[in-house]
Each structure stands twice: as C-alpha cells, then as structure tokens.
C-alpha cells in the first residue's frame, strides 16, 4: 500500500551514520546510512564540494560574450562553456569570479552583477553555483592553469543562446545562465 504523504519543508531524512569514503583537494565522498521518508533503511552517497562553482558571462557593449572550449575528462567530450571555475568557500565569490575571468579569457571588468545562484546536481551533491555578469571589459593576457588547454571564442549573446538551443552547449551552469540572461535582455 502506498502512503499519501504531503510535501513538507522539513527534512524527512534521518541520518544514522556517515562515513568518508574518498577525499581530495576538491571534494569528498560520504556514504550515509539513513532512514528514508517512508521509514525504510537506505544508503545515500553524498559528494561534498570544497569550492563554489563560479561562472561568468562577460558582456560587451554590443552584447557579445566569450565562450571557453575545452576537453572535459569526466564526460569524455569537448565542451563549450561560459568562463568558470572553482572558488574556495572561504574567499569572497566575486574575487574568485574576477580571477577566473582573467585566467580563462584575459579580461578584467569594472562592473559586476550577480545573475543567479543554483545547485548543480542536488540529488547527490551539495555543490552550489554562482553566476556573474561582467561588463565594462578590458582585454589582457590569459593565465591558464596547468590543467587547462582552452580555446576562447567571442560570439554574440544570441549566438551563444543558439548554441544552447542546438545542443552544442550542454554544461548545466552555462545553459541556465545564458538562457536566463537572454530572457532578461530581451
């Protein structure tokens, strides 16, 4: 028999124990024994990120933006994305955004605006993302990290959105941010 349960804003999960299974400088993986909302025993895998996901949409006066192309190891495919990276939890996210924009595009910006906050995959991870719009741009030299082999492409915001709609851009943060900004700009 299926019980009819009303949605609630309180946490219906009861953690019995938690064990760290893996840890590196970017994330840790925990296995939690829990009592689920229906009263049954369950195992839950939980990824805890040690950084915020920080995305930036640089936008010039003509509504052009910059995309970053790179081969992503985990999904084993090439990906076009907005400039983004990790921001340590104990550092102002805006400072991380400024660093990432400079590293990946060489750009600096005088005007910053928060566009959105999001959760990347909230069924298995606590990762939070922040996306900024960067305006009043000044070009400069990139400062790629050792792990980055990037292509940079300047496109119109409309073209970036078309790349989302055609399926060429699939990164979740990039998709959400570009669509939201496009909606706000129209």
pTM (two decimals): 0.88
Q: Which CATH architecture has domain 51-185?
A: Alpha-Beta Complex (3.90)
Distance from C-alpha of 152 to C-alpha of 56, rounded to nearest angstrom: 14
Encoding tokens for residue 171?
């990164």
Q: Are strands 51-58 and 84-88 parallel, antiparallel or unpaired?
A: antiparallel
CA dihedral 134, 139, 140, 145 (to 10 degrees): 40
> Which pLDDT score is estimated for 147?
77
Report percent pLDDT > 70 for the chain. 95
Compute the average pLDDT of residues 97-107. Answer: 97
Give the containing element (helix H, strand E) for 137.
strand 128-138
SS (H, E, C) 87-155: EECCCCHHHHHHHHHHHHHCCEEEEEEEEEEEECCCCCECCEEEEEEEEEEECCCCCCCCCCCCEEEEE
Quickly state the pLDDT bin for 185 (edges 50, 70, 90).
confident
Strand partners, 135: 111
Pick from 89, 79, 73: nearest CA to 175: 79
Encoding tokens for residue 129?
């993302």
Q: How far is CA 66 from the centre of its chain?
A: 16
Compute the average pLDDT of residues 104-132. Answer: 95
> Which pLDDT score is estimated for 149?
86
Distance from C-alpha of 49 to C-alpha of 68, rounded to nearest angstrom: 23
Q: What is the pLDDT of residues 14-51, one digit of tens each?
A: 999 999 999 999 999 999 999 999 999 999 999 999 99
């Amino acid at each position: 028999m299926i019980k009819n349960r009303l949605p609630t804003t309180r946490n219906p999960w009861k953690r019995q124990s938690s064990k760290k299974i893996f840890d590196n400088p970017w994330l840790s993986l925990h296995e939690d024994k829990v009592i689920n909302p229906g009263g049954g025993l369950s195992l839950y895998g939980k990824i805890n990120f040690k950084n915020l996901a920080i995305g930036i949409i640089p936008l010039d006066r003509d509504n052009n933006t910059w995309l970053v192309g790179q081969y992503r190891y985990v999904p084993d495919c090439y990906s076009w994305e907005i400039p983004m990276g990790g921001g340590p939890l104990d550092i102002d996210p805006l400072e991380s955004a400024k660093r990432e924009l400079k590293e990946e595009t060489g750009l600096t910006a005088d005007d910053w605006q928060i566009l959105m906050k999001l959760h990347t995959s909230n069924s298995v991870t606590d990762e939070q993302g922040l996306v900024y719009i960067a305006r009043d741009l000044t070009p400069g030299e990139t400062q790629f990290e050792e792990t980055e082999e990037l292509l940079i492409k300047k496109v119109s915001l409309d073209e970036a959105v078309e790349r989302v709609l055609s399926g060429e851009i699939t990164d979740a943060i990039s998709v959400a941010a570009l669509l939201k900004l496009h909606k706000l700009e129209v």
